[in-house]
Amino acid sequence: MAARTRLPLLFPKNLPPFRNQRLVQTEAAAKDPAYPPIVPSRTAKSKSALRRQVEEHVQKVRASPVEEKLALITRIQRQKFVVYPQTFARDADRWYQHFTKTAYIPGLPEKFTRGQEHTGGEEGSPPAAAQTTVPGIENDAFADIRSLISRVILQEHWYQKKRRPFLFREQEHMVGPLLRNLVSGLTYSLAKYNPLLPLCSLDVNPQVNFYWSRGQRIIPRGHRSGRLEPTRFQIDDHPHTQIRITQQLPEFAPLEASYDAEVPEITLAPNLMPMFRRQYDNNIFTGSKLPDPARYGHTQFHLVPDRYHRDRMARQQQSDQVEVFLRANGLASLFAWTGAQAMYQGFWNYEDVTRPFVSQAVITDGHFFSFFCYQLNTVALSVETDANNPRKNLLWGTESLRLYESVQDGEVVGLNDSVIKLLVQFLMNQP
């Protein structure tokens, strides 16, 4: 007789096969055991912990938007060297070249010298040629600009009677208004030839700041003695006027061309220059705040103050330092401006620039004009990032060229056309 087996009421028709014999071997370890990643500690008193903290900070800065990036980079205040673009120090341009990793190339880039070569060729051609030496500018427009410049010069030196200014304020009184009128007049008259200029922003006495670190030293004394400290620098510059544009200027030379350039190496500490250290807010500023659409730089105009005027230098038998001063001024001011522009785009020490940033400057003391072009190829200047960085920044510059001889009987004598041409070319620079 069939014993009643204990089966369920609803007996399934198809039983799962061989429930007891589980197929053990085929259930491979498909899922890896999930261990957390092995990283050094974050809070231990060890070198690897410090490295991890630095790495995490770098990742944090990389991941944040631009305002936060700037805030995080300039957060901590420490003792830093204050770099003055207009300095009395001797051989300042060599020192500044080392601090900013810039190579100096005498003369202007090919863009501007091509026009000069054209002049040499065209002088033989008949004078009825419609185009002048500057491409894009007609003869009449050039004559207009000439008359504008002579008007501006006469206004300050002939028509307006000025009293003898106070001690060391001569440049500010005589040449300051001249330069301001010159810049604004040139910008307005060239606005119809350069499509960037109608949308540009002309700043008067703006502020340009930049903060960076380059090189390191061993702290000699104190509770931190023996440890490595990066040397920090800050530039606080006040150019006389500057023009900021909405689009970026094209590069003067390809990035790879800067690999062969020579930058002077100075192994001594910066305070032997002499340069002094202070601790205050670290600022990075182009001349306007971040949301401004005109965030790329075009041209800066600087005024040589009385203290560094060439007559005074000649009285102190330091005439050779005049050119040095101009070069140092151009270098520091343009480096600060282009560096700040790059920072505004989100490039910083650990994220190097992908395209070169370009700006121009004109430094004058009323009679003599010097023209400088700067190309920023790298912002990675600190010790860790500079180890394998072949890029260098480039500075092109001229010697000082005389604009006019003197003012006599309501006429400007000896107006130099090549200088006017260079000025116009600088302002006409567009992508």
Q: Which residues bind other proteins (CB under 8 A)?
A: 88-91, 268, 272, 274, 317-318, 320-321
Q: Toward other proteins, which CB reaches closer, 130 or 268?
A: 268
Q: Toward other proteins, which CB reaches closer, 88 or 259?
A: 88
Strands 80-83 and 228-237: parallel
| Contact (CB, 8 A) for 210 and 265 | no
Cα angle 6, 8, 13 (rounded to 5 degrees) comes to 115
Which residues of 183-258 form beta strands (DSSP E)?
201-204, 208-218, 228-237, 241-245
Q: Toward other proteins, which CB reaches closer, 16 or 222?
A: 222
Name residues whose C-beta falls within 8 Å of residue 147's C-beta, 6 or more positions apart in sequence. Answer: none
DSSP secondary structure code for residue 87 in this structure: -
Angstrom distance (rounded) from CA 371 to CA 301: 10
How many CA atoms lie less than 13 Å away from 332 in the CB half-sphere?
27
Closest distance to other proteins from the beta carbon of 203 (Å): 34
Closest distance to other proteins from the beta carbon of 89 (Å): 8
Q: Toward other proteins, which CB reaches closer, 215 or 339?
A: 215
Closest distance to other proteins from the beta carbon of 279 (Å): 22
Name residues whose C-beta falls within 8 Å of residue 194's C-beta, 6 or more positions apart in sequence. Answer: 427, 428, 429, 430
Angstrom distance (rounded) from CA 63 to CA 61: 5
Angstrom distance (rounded) from CA 289 to CA 293: 10
Q: Toward other proteins, which CB reaches closer, 199 or 314?
A: 314
Q: Toward other proteins, which CB reaches closer, 272 or 290?
A: 272
For the chain, the maximum distance between any two Cα atoms, rounded to a whole number of angstroms, is 144
Angstrom distance (rounded) from CA 171 to CA 84: 19
Residue type, 42: R
Closest distance to other proteins from the beta carbon of 269 (Å): 8
Q: Toward other proteins, which CB reaches closer, 188 or 276?
A: 276
For residue 351, the cross-strand partners are: 348
Closest distance to other proteins from the beta carbon of 142 (Å): 41
Q: Toward other proteins, which CB reaches closer, 106 or 274?
A: 274
Residue type, 227: R
Cα angle 204, 182, 251 (rounded to 5 degrees) comes to 75
Closest distance to other proteins from the beta carbon of 263 (Å): 17
| Contact (CB, 8 A) for 346 and 379 | no
Closest distance to other proteins from the beta carbon of 316 (Å): 9
Closest distance to other proteins from the beta carbon of 94 (Å): 10
